[in-house]
Structure 1
Amino acid sequence: MNQGTEAALLIALGFPFVGALLAPLVMLRFPRGGPWLLALAPTFAFITFAAQIGTVSSGNALVGGLPWIPSLDVGLSWYIDGLALAFALLVSGIGILIVLYAGGYLKGHPHHSRFMSFLLLFMGAMQGLVVADGFLTLFVFWELTSITSFLLIGFDHQREASRRAALQALVVTGMGGLALLAGLVTIGMATTTDTLSGLLANPDVLRSSALYVPALILILLAAFTKSAQFPFHFWLPNAMEAPTPVSAYLHSATMVKAGVYLLMRLNPVMGDTVLWETILPLFGGATLLVGSVLALRQSDLKLMLAYTTIGSLGLLVMLTGFGTETAVLGAVLYLIAHALFKGTLFMVVGILDHETGTRRIEDLRGLRSAMPLTFVAALGAGLSMAGIPLFTGFLAKETIYEALLAGGDAWSLLVLIVIILGNAAMAAVGLAVGLTPFTGSLRPTPQAPHEGPVLLWLGPVTLATFGLALALLSSAFYGAFADPMASAVAGLAVENHASPFPHVSLAFGLSLLTLAIGVAFYLGLQGMRRSIGGVLTAFGWGPDRGFDQVMRGLVTLSVRVTGVVQSGRLDVYITVAFVVVAAALWMPMLLTGELPVLPSIPQLLLHEWAVLLVAVVGLYAVVRTRNRLTAIVSLGIQGFAVALLFLLMGAPDLSFTQFMVETLSVVILALVMTRIRLEPTDHRPWNEKLLDGSIAILCGLGFGLLLLKVTQGTFDAALSAFFSANARIIAHGRNVVNVIIVDFRGFDTLGEIAVVTITGLAILAIIRIGTPQAKQEDRT
Structure 2
Amino acid sequence: MLFTVLTGLITSSLLIPFGKFIKTKWSIVLPFIPVFLFIFYLLQVSSVASGINFVQHISWVPSLGVNFDFRLDGLSLLFALLITGIGSGIFFYGRTYLKGHPYFDRFFGYLLLFMSAMLGVVLANNIITLFIFWELTSISSFFLIGFNNDNKDSRKSAITALSITGIGGFFLLAGLLLLGNIAETFIISELIDRRDIIINHSLYPLFVGLIFLGAFTKSAQFPFHFWLPGAMKAPTPVSAYLHSATMVKAGIYLLARFTPILGNTDFWNYTLMIVGGITMIYAAVHSLFRIDLKGILAYSTISALGILTFLLGLGTKDAIIAASVFILVHALYKATLFMVTGIIDHETHTRDITQLAGLRKVLFPVFIAALLAALSSAGLPLTFGFIGKDLIYEATLHYANNWALWLTILAVATNTALVAAGFMAGVKPFVGKLPTQFEKIHLPYSSMWLPPLILGVLGIVFGCMPGMIGDIFNHRAADSIFGAETEMHLKIWHGFNTVLILSLCTLAAGTLLYLFNKPSAAKLNAVERLNNISPQHIILKLASLVERFSTAYTNNVHDGFLRSYHFKIIVFAELLLAYKLWLSGPIQIDFEKLTPITWYEIAFVLILIGAVYLIVTTKSRLTSVVSTSVIGYCICLIFVFYSAPDLAMTQFTIDTLTTVLFVLVLYKLPGFINFAKKGVQIRDAIVALGFGVIISLIMLKVLYEPTTTEISDFYGENSYLLAKGKNVVNVILVDFRGIDTMFETVVLSIAALGVYSLIKLRLKSSEKE
Q: Fold-level match, TM-score > 0.5?
A: yes
Structure-1 separation of matches of 2:656 and 2:128: 53
SS at match of 1:368: helix
Partner of 2:750: none
Give the 3 Å change call, closer, same or farther, for CA 338–654 of structure 1 in structure 2.
closer
Query: Is the counterpart of residue 628 in structure 1 residue 628 in structure 2?
Result: no
Partner of 1:56: 48
> Which one is further off, 64-73 or 207-216?
64-73
Query: Is the counterpart of residue 305 in structure 1 residue 308 in structure 2?
Result: no
* 2:691 aligned residue (681, 684, 699): 699
Question: Does structure 2 conserve the Cα–Cα contact (< 8 Å) formed by 1:389 and 1:502?
Answer: no
Structure-1 separation of matches of 2:513 and 2:152: 35
Query: Is the counterpart of residue 416 in structure 1 residue 403 in structure 2?
Result: no
Query: Is the counterpart of residue 206 in structure 1 residue 198 in structure 2?
Result: yes
CA apart distance, 1:622: 6.0
Structure-1 separation of matches of 2:674 and 2:21: 73
Give the 3 Å change call, closer, same or farther, for CA 705–394 of structure 1 in structure 2.
same
SS at match of 1:375: helix
CA apart distance, 1:117: 1.3
Give the 3 Å change call, closer, same or farther, for CA 186–362 of structure 1 in structure 2.
same
CA apart distance, 1:518: 0.8
Structure-1 separation of matches of 2:628 and 2:140: 58
Question: Does structure 2 conserve the Cα–Cα contact (< 8 Å) formed by 1:629 and 1:673?
Answer: no
Partner of 1:350: 342
Partner of 1:563: 555
SS at match of 1:362: coil
Question: Does structure 2 conserve the Cα–Cα contact (< 8 Å) formed by 1:626 and 1:682?
Answer: no
SS at match of 2:403: helix
CA apart distance, 1:62: 1.7
Structure-1 separation of matches of 2:605 and 2:547: 51
Partner of 1:766: none
Structure-1 separation of matches of 2:731 and 2:401: 76
Question: Does structure 1 conserve the Cα–Cα contact (< 8 Å) formed by 2:357 and 2:431?
Answer: yes
Give the 3 Å change call, closer, same or farther, for CA 143–658 of structure 1 in structure 2.
closer
Query: Is the counterpart of residue 549 in structure 1 residue 541 in structure 2?
Result: yes
Structure-1 separation of matches of 2:690 and 2:673: 27
* 1:522 aligned residue (514, 536, 540): 514
Whichever residue aligns with residue 31 of structure 2, its letter is: A
Question: Does structure 2 conserve the Cα–Cα contact (< 8 Å) formed by 1:640 and 1:662?
Answer: yes
Partner of 1:492: 484
Give the number of equivalent residue pairs. 731
- CA deviation vs aligned residue, 1:547-606 (integer Å, no higher than 9, x gap): 44334333221110012212355554443233234345544333223735252497869x
Query: Is the counterpart of residue 190 in structure 1 residue 182 in structure 2?
Result: yes
Whichever residue aligns with residue 427 of structure 1, its letter is: V
Query: Is the counterpart of residue 130 in structure 1 residue 107 in structure 2?
Result: no
Query: Is the counterpart of residue 293 in structure 1 residue 293 in structure 2?
Result: no
CA apart distance, 1:617: 6.7
> Which one is further off, 294-303 or 640-649?
640-649
* 2:606 aligned residue (610, 616, 638): 616
CA apart distance, 1:27: 6.5
SS at match of 1:517: helix
Partner of 1:139: 131
Structure-2 separation of matches of 1:234 and 1:743: 50
Question: Does structure 1 conserve the Cα–Cα contact (< 8 Å) formed by 2:479 and 2:486?
Answer: yes
Structure-2 separation of matches of 1:198 and 1:106: 45
> Which one is further off, 664-673 or 82-91?
664-673
CA apart distance, 1:620: 6.3
Structure-2 separation of matches of 1:625 and 1:227: 61
Question: Does structure 2 conserve the Cα–Cα contact (< 8 Å) formed by 1:320 and 1:328?
Answer: yes
Question: Does structure 1 conserve the Cα–Cα contact (< 8 Å) formed by 2:611 and 2:631?
Answer: no
Correspondence 1:734-749 to 2 at 5 A: none
SS at match of 2:361: coil
* 2:57 aligned residue (51, 65, 76): 65
Query: Is the counterpart of residue 395 in structure 1 residue 407 in structure 2?
Result: no
CA RMSD, Structure 1 to Structure 2 (Å): 3.7
CA apart distance, 1:176: 1.2
CA apart distance, 1:26: 7.2
Partner of 2:245: 253
Structure-2 separation of matches of 1:672 and 1:681: 17
Give the 3 Å change call, closer, same or farther, for CA 655–275 of structure 1 in structure 2.
closer
Partner of 1:171: 163
Give the 3 Å change call, closer, same or farther, for CA 614–481 of structure 1 in structure 2.
closer
SS at match of 1:67: strand
Whichever residue aligns with residue 429 of structure 2, its letter is: P
Question: Does structure 1 conserve the Cα–Cα contact (< 8 Å) formed by 2:23 and 2:104?
Answer: no
Give the 3 Å change call, closer, same or farther, for CA 391–602 of structure 1 in structure 2.
closer
- CA deviation vs aligned residue, 1:179-222 (integer Å, no higher than 9, x gap): 22111111112222211111134443322222221121011111
Question: Does structure 2 conserve the Cα–Cα contact (< 8 Å) formed by 1:81 and 1:484?
Answer: yes
Structure-2 separation of matches of 1:682 and 1:23: 56
Structure-2 separation of matches of 1:741 and 1:609: 39
- CA deviation vs aligned residue, 1:505-529 (integer Å, no higher than 9, x gap): 1111111221122112211221687
Partner of 1:684: 678
SS at match of 1:499: coil
* 2:353 aligned residue (361, 368, 371): 361
Whichever residue aligns with residue 628 of structure 1, its letter is: T
> Which one is further off, 596-605 or 332-341?
596-605
> Which one is further off, 94-103 or 63-72?
63-72
- CA deviation vs aligned residue, 1:9-39 (integer Å, no higher than 9, x gap): 3333332223323456776446565454222
Query: Is the counterpart of residue 40 in structure 1 residue 24 in structure 2?
Result: no
Whichever residue aligns with residue 471 of structure 2, its letter is: G
**What fraction of aligned residue pairs are identical, expressed as a percent?**
37
Structure-2 separation of matches of 1:436 and 1:11: 44
Correspondence 1:5-154 to 2 at 5 A: 9-23=1-15, 28-29=20-21, 31=23, 33-154=25-146
Structure-2 separation of matches of 1:24 and 1:671: 42
CA apart distance, 1:709: 4.1
> Which one is further off, 254-263 or 18-27?
18-27
Question: Does structure 2 conserve the Cα–Cα contact (< 8 Å) formed by 1:367 and 1:449?
Answer: no
> Which one is further off, 662-671 or 356-365?
662-671
Structure-1 separation of matches of 2:88 and 2:158: 24
Give the 3 Å change call, closer, same or farther, for CA 591–120 of structure 1 in structure 2.
same
Question: Does structure 2 conserve the Cα–Cα contact (< 8 Å) formed by 1:585 and 1:702?
Answer: yes
Whichever residue aligns with residue 66 of structure 1, its letter is: I
CA apart distance, 1:369: 2.2
SS at match of 2:541: helix
Question: Does structure 2 conserve the Cα–Cα contact (< 8 Å) formed by 1:628 and 1:680?
Answer: no
Question: Does structure 2 conserve the Cα–Cα contact (< 8 Å) formed by 1:153 and 1:166?
Answer: yes
Give the 3 Å change call, closer, same or farther, for CA 600–542 of structure 1 in structure 2.
same
CA apart distance, 1:403: 1.9
Give the 3 Å change call, closer, same or farther, for CA 682–357 of structure 1 in structure 2.
closer
Give the 3 Å change call, closer, same or farther, for CA 592–546 of structure 1 in structure 2.
same
Structure-2 separation of matches of 1:602 and 1:387: 88
* 2:585 aligned residue (580, 593, 610): 593
Query: Is the counterpart of residue 219 in structure 1 residue 204 in structure 2?
Result: no
Give the 3 Å change call, closer, same or farther, for CA 502–365 of structure 1 in structure 2.
farther
Query: Is the counterpart of residue 511 in structure 1 residue 511 in structure 2?
Result: no
- CA deviation vs aligned residue, 1:48-106 (integer Å, no higher than 9, x gap): 21122122112232222322334444321212211111111111111111100001111
Give the 3 Å change call, closer, same or farther, for CA 670–577 of structure 1 in structure 2.
farther
Higher CA-based Rg: 1
SS at match of 1:214: helix
Question: Does structure 1 conserve the Cα–Cα contact (< 8 Å) formed by 2:148 and 2:154?
Answer: yes
Structure-1 separation of matches of 2:4 and 2:411: 38
* 1:277 aligned residue (257, 269, 287): 269
* 1:435 aligned residue (427, 430, 439): 427
Structure-2 separation of matches of 1:681 and 1:147: 48
Question: Does structure 1 conserve the Cα–Cα contact (< 8 Å) formed by 2:269 and 2:315?
Answer: yes
Whichever residue aligns with residue 264 of structure 1, its letter is: A
Structure-1 separation of matches of 2:3 and 2:309: 33
SS at match of 1:107: coil
SS at match of 1:253: coil
Question: Does structure 1 conserve the Cα–Cα contact (< 8 Å) formed by 2:172 and 2:210?
Answer: yes
Report the TM-score, using the length of structure 2 for normalisation: 0.86
CA apart distance, 1:747: 5.0
Give the 3 Å change call, closer, same or farther, for CA 648–246 of structure 1 in structure 2.
closer
